[in-house]
Chains A and B, each alone.
Chain A
Amino acid sequence: MSETILVVDDDREIVGAIALLLEAEGFRVLRAYDGLEALELALDPELRLIIMDVMMPRLDGLSAVLRIRERRNLPILVLSAKSEDSDKVLGLSMGADDYVSKPFHPQELVARVKSHLRRYTRLGDVNAAQGSHFVTGRLSYDPERRTLFADGEPVKLTATETKIVDLLMRNLGRIFPAEEIYRRVWEEETTYAPENTVMVHIRRIREKIELEPREPEYLKVVWGIGYKMEKK
């Protein structure tokens, strides 16, 4: 693999930690400690992904992202200690591809990096096959083959899980009450509230498709109403 990743943060320890984690996964890591340094290193043609902190001296992360975006098209992950929704929206609108709030789980960060890299490198093939696919973010579903792809990789699902995914991916953004899911997947009426049964499967699907199953991005519970597949 040995893809090159740029890590930018004014906190040297954090850069070091991230670098160690990524190098342990076999990546090559470039380190920068402010926005201007990042601009220089971003010119490296081998570079495949940037992890950028927001609050930095000399040039802040979001301005740096804007400047890099002018010249390069590669995934940029923004790190921030601010976890407010408005910051997230701002970061994404500036051209960042993803937003990870501090303090993060190292595993989650690595998973996200991998996910973005896969999508980025396989973008060509995925696009070619996307005519009849249902796509949302890093997930795409091929209804003919009844297969779900995460970052272009097929996900292994059981029959029941596939039925649930089929229902939700075909109706992106629509909320299904547990009763309806049960009726359509198990194809039988229930006399009791099937929340538990459905929830068990939902959790298992999350484990397979979400980067951070505890804070799901796609398969979401709409509390007091039902379940849905987020449309991105």
Chain B
Amino acid sequence: MDTKWKKSKAVCGFLSFALGVSLLLSSLLPIAGNLVSASGRNRLQNAFQSDFQNTAAFRSYLSDTMNSFIAMGAGGPISGGYYISYDYGEPYLIEAEAVAETVMIQHDVGISTYIKPTQKEKDQWKKDAEAWARQFEEDKNILYYITVNNQVAYTNMDRRKDAIPAFPQEGYGFRLSFNGSKCEAEKDGKTLDLYGDGIYQEDGKHWALPGYSNYLIAEGASSVRVYLAVADSPQLYVKVDYTSGRSQQWTENRYYHHYQNWLKNRNSLIVNSFLSLAAGLLFLFVWFPRRREKSDVDRVISRFTEHIWFEVKLLFLLGAAVFVLLPMTEEMGYLIREVSYAVTYEETAYYQYPWFLSSYLREILLRPEAVLPAFWICYLFVNDLRYGKKPWRHGLFGMLSAQELKLPVQKRLSRRSALSILVPILALLLFFPVFRFLNTQGVAFYLSFVGVAAAEILLLLVVQCVYAKKNAALARDLGLLADRITAIRDGDLTTPSILPEDSDLRRSAEELSDIQQGMSQAVAEQIRSEQMKVELVTNVSHDLKTPLTSIISYAELLKQESLDPPAGEYVDILCQKAERLRTMVLDVFEVSKAASGELPVKLEELDLAKLLRQTTADMAQVIEDAPVTLRQALPEDPVTIIADGDRLYRVFQNLLQNALSYALEGSRVYLSLEIQGSNAVVSIKNTSKTELPPGVDYTERFVRGDPSRTDGGSGLGLAIADTFTRACGGELTVAPVADLFVVSASFPLSSRIDQGTMEE
């Protein structure tokens, strides 16, 4: 529950981060893009204008139109005329602005002021003017009339003969007029200040109209008066000429499209940019308190991206960069063309470098669909670098890199595989240039192709053969080394591990030899100390035996004397204890010998069930005298094992003796023999007289259930049983359960054993 909650919190944090950043980027990028250029900045301003008539686009368009009308009146060329045939069906803001800019440029340069026009040109301009007027004929968004020497020359309003037309009172609040030298404007009856401080600047904030102190007008236009009124809410005007067979709209409508553009642009800016900006901020607000959980998700993501080759990641990064920077190729073309043009004709290019850069930047920023994926690819890349474990090591380069490897053989191997990949690649890359070179040097096509191919194949073959040979040598040495390891495991500690001088694995082999030597020394040491121990025990028990002989003998002699009552009893005790000491010394001797592996065993096939019956029969007197009952469960059928009968008798005699002496009085001792799988298992169970302390290894020498007990055996009973059982190939387990003392001896059944190996 808790982890689930934490998980959902982390996922929520990450999602809000991703959405927030995406939205923020997709909204901020276009805004930034607009801020880069002047027209963009104007557009931004326009979008925030509530009235189209306050926008730069309106000013630009209306100035343009006014200039055209003045030109019409003055009989000059109409700059807007170039674009008459332009298809306005798809209004496009940038194009429309380009128009305005072009118009202004041409006015600035002022073609007509410097060149004396011919009559033919003048006729052409007249035609253009009439065509222009026809176009405005049906466009009632802008009503105008042009007078020359107080005679109406052009208008799109009802006109009575020679009368000055009058603008309608309603719906056309904006008026603009030209009085031969200056312009005047009023909006809803209020006069507007057109010129400001009277200095014209090409920044879109000024009206591009004559009348500034630095925006003069030539003589020819002084008799021209232009009056125009702009509709408050523009409409689409369509006129179709069915007679000419061209069923196209054939009216100006440019003002309408500008207006529509402005509306659309405003909506898109506000909705797309500002709403998504707000949403993005909101998401970031959600993310911020969960940033720690979010980084967990980052870690999980890095765990996935870890598996990708680093080269692939770099490729993705490169792809992202190319995808984002893609416009560059186009812009680069412009730049080269413009610069070369400027250099050739020694003209100052309008497409100057800073302009190019800003337009290029705008180009990038205005394409969030390219920037966003690139951003997220970068994000994943950085995330991978941050949380991944050395991600650059995972990949082709990482595989070929030998830096992390320590041993010279490792370095050599990795260098070999790196070269075996790089050489073919190099050969492939070299093929074409060499082939081309030979071809240009006059070698025949066929000959150079075959020649280069053959040479490269030969080179590759030689390289691969050399590697194959080295690898074969390494494989052989590896095999030798592995064989040596197996031999050492199997106990061969004397044959030294030696590989040829130049072998990659020579050092490892030498180290193996060292290990071998160390082991053989340790084994020798152990054997020696084991032998010393046995010798010590033998000597000690020998030294014990001689005085013990005297004790036993003299105790016996004392026994034969007729002694006064208590002395006789004392001698009996002496005799008993001397006898016990004798058994103990013999036991110690035997156990130490068995522990050192010097106990001779005579293995033969025997019937374990019979052996147990014989043992109990042999011990009949002891069993009868014990204060417990022996319950036997022995199978009638022979249970054949391979063992040393004398030793096994000692094992079970000891175990039974133990059980009988340590069992609770009046309880039962159970002796059973069962076949479990391929084993014969003898178990002896008795209820202990005393509490069994836990965690005692009863097969250790000199261990008894109760450490404080001084009566009974030597403490070697179980140790003898254990060593003898093992000498016979069996296994003795002591598993006390509460007060139940359970000893089981398990022996493999002889039918499962290859008898040849057991004869020793």
**Which residue numbers of A lie inside 8 Å of B, CB to CB?**
11, 13-14, 17-18, 20-21, 24, 81-83, 85, 102-107, 177-178, 193, 195-196, 198-200, 221-226
- Report chain B residues within 8 Å CB of A17: 549-550, 553-554, 556-557
CA separation between A224 and B651, bound complex, in Å?
A: 13
Are A224 and B554 interface neighbours, CB within 8 A? no
- Report chain B residues within 8 Å CB of A104: 549, 552
- Report chain A residues within 8 Å CB of B608: 224
Are B549 and A223 interface neighbours, CB within 8 A? no
- Report chain A residues within 8 Å CB of B611: 223-224
Would you list 22 pairs from A and B whose C-beta atoms are within 8 A, ordered by A residue?
A: A17-B556, A21-B553, A21-B557, A83-B586, A85-B600, A102-B546, A103-B552, A103-B582, A103-B585, A104-B549, A105-B556, A195-B614, A196-B613, A196-B617, A198-B617, A199-B620, A221-B618, A221-B649, A222-B645, A224-B608, A224-B645, A224-B648
Are A195 and B610 interface neighbours, CB within 8 A? yes
CA separation between A28 and B165, bound complex, in Å?
A: 181
**Which residue numbers of B lie inside 8 Å of A, CB to CB?**
542, 545-546, 548-554, 556-557, 560, 578, 582, 585-586, 589, 600, 604, 606-608, 610-611, 613-618, 620, 634, 636, 643, 645-646, 648-649
Given A223-B646, A224-B614, 7 extra CB contacts under 8 A = A85-B600, A199-B614, A199-B618, A199-B620, A223-B606, A224-B643, A226-B610
- Which of A11, A85, A200, A225 contacts B550 (CB under 8 A)? A11
Min CB gap B283→A, angstroms:
88
Are B557 and A223 interface neighbours, CB within 8 A? no
- Which of B546, B549, B607, B620 contacts A196 (CB under 8 A)? B620
Are A102 and B614 interface neighbours, CB within 8 A? no
Are A193 and B643 interface neighbours, CB within 8 A? no
Chain A residue nearest in CB terms to B619: A199
* Residue among A85, A196, A222, A224 facing the most chain B CB atoms (10 A cut-off): A224
- Report chain A residues within 8 Å CB of B548: 102-103
Are B542 and A14 interface neighbours, CB within 8 A? no
With A17-B557, A21-B557, A224-B610 as known contacts, state yes or no: A106 contacts B552, CB within 8 Å.
yes
CA separation between A196 and B610, bound complex, in Å?
A: 11
Chain A residue nearest in CB terms to B618: A199
- Which of B546, B620, B636, B648 contacts A200 (CB under 8 A)? B620
CA separation between A195 and B618, bound complex, in Å?
A: 9
Min CB gap B273→A, angstroms:
101
With A224-B606, A224-B614 as known contacts, state yes or no: A13 contacts B554, CB within 8 Å.
yes
* Residue among A14, A103, A177 facing the most chain B CB atoms (10 A cut-off): A103
CA separation between A21 and B600, bound complex, in Å?
A: 36
* Residue among A21, A82, A222 facing the most chain B CB atoms (10 A cut-off): A222
Q: Which secondary structure dominates where chain B touches chain A?
A: helix
Are A193 and B613 interface neighbours, CB within 8 A? yes
Are B607 and A13 interface neighbours, CB within 8 A? no
Min CB gap B403→A, angstroms:
66
Chain B residue nearest in CB terms to A193: B613
* Residue among B550, B606, B643 facing the most chain A CB atoms (10 A cut-off): B550
With A103-B552, A199-B617 as known contacts, state yes or no: A225 contacts B610, CB within 8 Å.
yes
CA separation between A21 and B557, bound complex, in Å?
A: 7
CA separation between A61 and B578, bound complex, in Å?
A: 26
- Which of B614, B620, B634 contacts A221 (CB under 8 A)? B614
- Report chain A residues within 8 Å CB of B554: 13, 17
CA separation between A106 and B649, bound complex, in Å?
A: 27
Min CB gap A193→B, angstroms:
5
Are A21 and B643 interface neighbours, CB within 8 A? no
CA separation between A193 and B615, bound complex, in Å?
A: 13
With A199-B614, A225-B645 as known contacts, state yes or no: A105 contacts B606, CB within 8 Å.
no
With A193-B636, A224-B648 as known contacts, state yes or no: A102 contacts B607, CB within 8 Å.
no
Chain A residue nearest in CB terms to B578: A103
- Report chain A residues within 8 Å CB of B615: 223
- Which of A20, A193, A195, A223 contacts B648 (CB under 8 A)? A223
CA separation between A226 and B617, bound complex, in Å?
A: 12
- Report chain B residues within 8 Å CB of A18: 553
Are B607 and A224 interface neighbours, CB within 8 A? yes
8 A-B pairs closest in CB distance: A224-B606, A223-B645, A17-B553, A224-B611, A199-B617, A195-B613, A106-B556, A81-B545
Chain B residue nearest in CB terms to A109: B553
Min CB gap A116→B, angstroms:
19
CA separation between A196 and B614, bound complex, in Å?
A: 7
Chain A residue nearest in CB terms to B548: A103
- Report chain A residues within 8 Å CB of B646: 223
- Report chain A residues within 8 Å CB of B600: 85
* Residue among B545, B553, B608 facing the most chain A CB atoms (10 A cut-off): B553
CA separation between A81 and B552, bound complex, in Å?
A: 14
With A195-B613, A225-B610 as known contacts, state yes or no: A81 contacts B546, CB within 8 Å.
yes
Are B618 and A20 interface neighbours, CB within 8 A? no
CA separation between A103 and B4, bound complex, in Å?
A: 81
Are B560 and A24 interface neighbours, CB within 8 A? yes
- Report chain B residues within 8 Å CB of A20: 557
Min CB gap B599→A, angstroms:
11
CA separation between A63 and B693, bound complex, in Å?
A: 54
- Report chain B residues within 8 Å CB of A14: 546, 549-550, 553
Are B617 and A82 interface neighbours, CB within 8 A? no
* Residue among B550, B614, B634, B645 facing the most chain A CB atoms (10 A cut-off): B614
- Report chain A residues within 8 Å CB of B578: 103
- Report chain B residues within 8 Å CB of A24: 560
CA separation between A198 and B617, bound complex, in Å?
A: 9
CA separation between A213 and B611, bound complex, in Å?
A: 20
Min CB gap A17→B, angstroms:
3
Min CB gap A106→B, angstroms:
4
CA separation between A199 and B613, bound complex, in Å?
A: 10
- Report chain A residues within 8 Å CB of B649: 221, 223
CA separation between A178 and B557, bound complex, in Å?
A: 41
CA separation between A13 and B548, bound complex, in Å?
A: 11
CA separation between A105 and B608, bound complex, in Å?
A: 33
Min CB gap A175→B, angstroms:
10
CA separation between A72 and B429, bound complex, in Å?
A: 108
